[in-house]
Amino acid sequence: MSLCFGGGKPELIGYTDADMAGDLDSRKSTSGYLITFSGGAVSWQSKLHKCVALSTTEAEFIAATEACKEMLWMKRFLQELGQEQHKYILHCDSQSAIHLSKNPSFHSRSKHIDVRYHWIRDVLESKQLQLENIHTDDNSSDMMTKSLPKDKYEFCRGAARLLEPST
């Protein structure tokens, strides 16, 4: 059975982003992710962090961890339906958050980050999915974390295959 909607090989792909201290009252950051399957959005979330991030790297690291949890759930769900793929990729536009998630030697500079967010290191080490860099211009999860200029909004909407609202 094939669950391909767009005519090509079905792929589960994730995108994640965060803003830094975007909530002006609490100074908490917002995480967002968008997960697509065969090019269409199947899961997305925009959520205020439970804690205040002390750096942009930490905010992006928390966002990547939250997206990773959803991506793994979606991966297992698709496997139960008989849909497996060679690799599962979560895109993040923060090279420093990617490096932090793959390199535990940063421990002395990241001790303050809640232990639950370091779980992503085990996931990446066991190769359950990959975390890869994406240029911020190509990151379709931007619409989950901040206001966007019209052209970027149109890009994000098109990447998720969301229809234009009727007037």
Question: Which tokens go with 53?
Answer: 């991030």
Burial class (CB in 10 A: 0-12, 13-18, 19+), 62: buried
CATH numbers and ranges of domains, the chain:
12-159 (3.30.420.10)
pLDDT of residue 1: 41
Q: Which residue has the higher pLDDT, 166 or 132?
A: 132
What single DSSP character describes residue 167? -
pLDDT of residue 142: 93
**What average pLDDT does range 7-11 have in this prediction?**
72
pLDDT digits (tens, 9 = 90+) for 65-115: 999 999 999 999 999 999 989 899 999 999 989 988 887 665 556 655 656
- Using alpha carbons, select from 123, 137, 129 the residue that is nearest to residue 35: 129
Q: Which residue has the higher pLDDT, 56 or 114?
A: 56
Asked whether the beta carbons of 14 and 71 are under 8 A apart, the reply is yes
DSSP 105-151: GGHHHHTTS-GGGGHHHHHHHTTSSEEEE--GGG-GGGGGTS---HH
pLDDT of residue 148: 93
Q: Which residue has the higher pLDDT, 149 or 106?
A: 149
- Using alpha carbons, select from 81, 42, 59, 70 the residue that is nearest to residue 128: 70
Question: Which tokens go with 32?
Answer: 């967002």
Q: What is the mean pLDDT of the chain?
A: 87
Largest Cα–Cα distance in the chain?
53
Q: Which amino acid is at 163?
A: L
Cα–Cα distance for residue pair 71/118, rounded to 1 Å: 16
**Crossing angle of helices 95-102/56-80, nearest 10°?**
70
**Global pTM value:** 0.84
